[in-house]
């Protein structure tokens, strides 16, 4: 019995990374050890955002002895948005079916990535995925299939987004010590030269500490955190209904956060003195902020924390969505 192998290659971007609105060009590679009877070869595109999780709830049921008992059960929540779905024939037999000869065969295809696609994204609560699926229709045999994921990544020119060039500044005064034994105030100020950053750049924060306390400020920590927000509906039903007499859409929100990069810097700011320093954090490769998907949103925050020898003095964030 002969064998065959089926694969997908992206010809205009071998890494499989495309931006919304761009053309995706590829080729189906079919290698045969012997002639193969084929009706047609179909290429399909699929792109969707899908969120899903379960909640545990309790209810009262009969215990079988005339009484009642409480039991737990799982309730699924889900939501889905389709961004790309379609298929076309990459090749079809001129007759009802015909044999493809032994050897290698190439079947090119092309499609346009929809302009409204959000970036590819993976999380414990959901995902945004895009894939190409190929199926070889073989009469009287199981069809041969393969698929390949591709990444959608928007291209941003921060020069075209005026808000990204606006500097950011925040400040606050923090009291140290407990209520009856105050140790003085620490005034904190942090400035960023702009609001928008891309991977490969570094966030450079200029910080000033006015240490009016009786303790030295000896350490600063900074981090960039990714915040993802998800929406899903009970049993996947997004329509508003009435439940126990109350109007409800059965919508539930979930969020997750993860630290992308962090750093710390030793300081020497004695009591009753001022000090300034610069703290830098590189922007690692990650999905861009987006708010164009109705069920998933991603944003980032940059936070700085200052420490004395006894306790954390203050922590604050710049949030960019």
pLDDT band of 303, cuts 50, 70, 90: confident
Model confidence pLDDT, tens digit, residues 152-182: 999 877 777 788 888 888 876 665 544 433 4
Are 212 and 244 in a shared domain? yes
pTM greater than 0.85 (yes/no): no
Neighbours of 261 (CB within 10 A): 16
Residue 238 has a pLDDT of 54
Say which CATH number the domain at 175 has: 2.60.40.640
Residue 177 has a pLDDT of 47
What is the C-alpha separation between 235 and 238, in angstroms, rounded?
A: 9
Average pLDDT along the chain: 85
For the chain, the domain total comes to 2
Query: Among 117, 135, 152, where does a domain finish?
Result: 152
What is the C-alpha separation between 152 and 118, in angstroms, rounded?
A: 7
Are 76 and 194 in a shared domain? no
CA dihedral in degrees (212, 215, 219, 222; nearest 10)?
-50
Are 225 and 280 in a shared domain? yes
When pLDDT is averaged across residues 80-99 and rounded to a whole number, the result is 88
Residue 304 has a pLDDT of 87
Query: Among 121, 137, 152, where does a domain finish?
Result: 152
Are 142 and 215 in a shared domain? no
Are 122 and 192 in a shared domain? no
Domain that holds residue 65: 4-152
Are 198 and 271 in a shared domain? yes
Q: Does residue 106 carry a pLDDT above 90?
A: yes
Are 32 and 171 in a shared domain? no
Contact (CB, 8 A) for 69 and 141:
no
Are 207 and 266 in a shared domain? yes
Q: Which of 94-103, 132-141, 293-302 has the lowest mean pLDDT?
A: 94-103
Are 144 and 185 in a shared domain? no
pLDDT band of 237, cuts 50, 70, 90: low
Query: Among 152, 182, 207, where does a domain finish?
Result: 152
> For residue 266, what are its two tokens?
């030793």
Model confidence pLDDT, tens digit, residues 2-38: 578 999 999 999 999 999 999 999 999 999 999 988 9
Residue with tokens 């009786």: 214
The sign of the dihedral angle between the CA atoms of 293, 297, 298, 303 is positive
E strands, 201-295, are 202-211, 217-234, 241-243, 246-248, 251-269, 273-282
Are 310 and 232 in a shared domain? yes
Q: Which of 78-87, 150-159, 201-210 has the lowest mean pLDDT?
A: 150-159
Are 204 and 129 in a shared domain? no
Residue 125 has a pLDDT of 97
Q: Does residue 248 carry a pLDDT above 50?
A: no
Are 213 and 301 in a shared domain? yes
């Amino acid at each position: 019995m002969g064998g065959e192998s089926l694969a997908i290659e992206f010809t205009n971007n071998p890494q499989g990374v495309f931006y919304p609105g761009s053309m995706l060009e590829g080729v189906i590679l079919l290698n045969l050890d012997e002639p193969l009877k084929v009706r047609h070869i179909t290429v399909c595109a699929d792109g969707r955002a899908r969120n899903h999780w379960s909640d545990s709830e309790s209810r009262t049921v009969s215990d079988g002895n005339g009484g009642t008992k409480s039991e737990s059960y799982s309730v699924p929540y889900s939501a889905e948005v389709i961004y790309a779905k379609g298929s076309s024939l990459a090749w079809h037999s001129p007759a009802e079916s015909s044999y493809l000869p032994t050897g290698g065969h190439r079947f090119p295809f092309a499609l346009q990535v929809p302009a409204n696609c959000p970036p590819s994204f993976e999380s414990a609560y959901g995902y945004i995925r895009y894939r190409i699926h190929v199926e070889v229709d073989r009469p009287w045999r199981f069809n041969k299939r393969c698929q390949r994921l591709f990444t959608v990544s928007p291209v941003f020119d921060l020069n075209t987004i005026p808000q990204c060039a606006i500097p950011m500044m925040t400040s606050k005064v923090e009291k140290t010590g407990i209520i009856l034994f105050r140790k003085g105030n620490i005034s904190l100020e942090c400035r960023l030269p702009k609001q928008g950053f891309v991977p490969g750049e570094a966030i450079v924060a200029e910080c000033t500490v006015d240490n009016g306390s009786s303790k030295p400020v000896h350490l600063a920590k900074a981090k960039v955190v990714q915040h993802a927000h998800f929406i899903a509906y009970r049993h996947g039903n997004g329509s508003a209904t009435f439940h126990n007499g109350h109007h409800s859409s059965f919508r539930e929100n979930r969020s997750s956060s993860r630290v992308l990069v962090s750093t710390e810097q030793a300081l020497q700011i004695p009591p009753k003195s001022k000090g300034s320093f610069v703290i830098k954090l590189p922007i690692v490769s990650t999905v861009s902020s987006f708010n164009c998907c109705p069920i998933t949103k991603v944003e980032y925050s940059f936070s700085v924390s200052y420490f004395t020898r006894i306790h954390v003095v203050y922590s604050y964030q710049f949030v960019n969505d």
